[in-house]
Amino acid sequence: MTITPTFSRTLKCPCCSNSFSTVNVRISYPKTVEVSTDFCVTYQDEVNSPYLYYVNVCNLCGYAFTKNSSLISSISKAIIQKEVSEKWRPRSFGDIRSVEDAITCYKLAIYCSILKNEKYYILAGLLLRVSWLYRKLNNQVEEERFMLKTVEAYKKSYDIAEYVGSEMSEIRVLFLIGELSRRCKLYEDAISHFSKIVAHSNAQLEKGIVEKARQQWQITREEAKKH
């Protein structure tokens, strides 16, 4: 028997308690071909990329969430019901998804994240993935628009250090602000964030990413000279 790359599973909606089916990629399946400087993975089989199935969407109420979403409070539930569910026409994303379908799912998750007042670094993670998916579609205008939104969200997160205790470190947040700014040709911003990493008091603890920051800082300086 051949094992398929994906499988269906049933989830219970945290907002309306409806049970719905969603597709997941088997953990053992994806083979990484390349990781970009902003951590976007290219898989050997992009048709079955885990990025396509990261967001779960309830077919009945439209609530969209991921494994990293915060729990939904009763106040948030009421807001989601009013702003999402009342306008939602039952629609399932529980089957094989195209990149375009996945982008729709992420946009729903972004809207729900904003309605829930979720932490900025969680929102930024969703925005960043949308920019990656547009990159995969070669849509540079939308890719850049979402990179700029990601930078904005990470800057807000950095200003209030809200990622303390999460899997995001300050250096990682600074790196992403720097690298996404570079990709958007905002060279001064990129340089100022890379320089903060190199001078950071935790630089010794995260040598790998500090080294990457040094390399990207050098690349940014060269690119800035050409513009």
By CB under 5 A, name the binding residues for Zn ion.
Answer: 13, 15-16, 18, 58, 60-61, 63
Backbone angles phi, psi at 116, to 5 degrees: -85, 0
Token couple for 39: 């951590």
Minimum gap (Å) between residue 12 Cβ and Zn ion: 9
Minimum gap (Å) between residue 57 Cβ and Zn ion: 9
Query: Which is nearer to Zn ion, 26 or 82 (by Cβ)?
Result: 82
Minimum gap (Å) between residue 14 Cβ and Zn ion: 8
Q: Which residues contact 52 (CB under 8 A, 6 or more apart)?
A: 25, 97, 98, 99, 101, 102
Q: Which residues contact 45 (CB under 8 A, 6 or more apart)?
A: 5, 29, 30, 31
Alpha helices in 66-206 (DSSP H): 74-83, 99-115, 120-136, 140-159, 170-183, 187-198
Query: Which is nearer to Zn ion, 57 or 128 (by Cβ)?
Result: 57
Residue 11 belongs to what H/E stretch? strand 6-12
Query: Which is nearer to Zn ion, 62 or 178 (by Cβ)?
Result: 62
Minimum gap (Å) between residue 19 Cβ and Zn ion: 9
Query: Which is nearer to Zn ion, 63 or 158 (by Cβ)?
Result: 63
Minimum gap (Å) between residue 70 Cβ and Zn ion: 16
Query: Which is nearer to Zn ion, 107 or 155 (by Cβ)?
Result: 107
Q: How far apart are the first and last CA of the chain?
A: 56
Identify the three-state secondary structure at position 206: coil
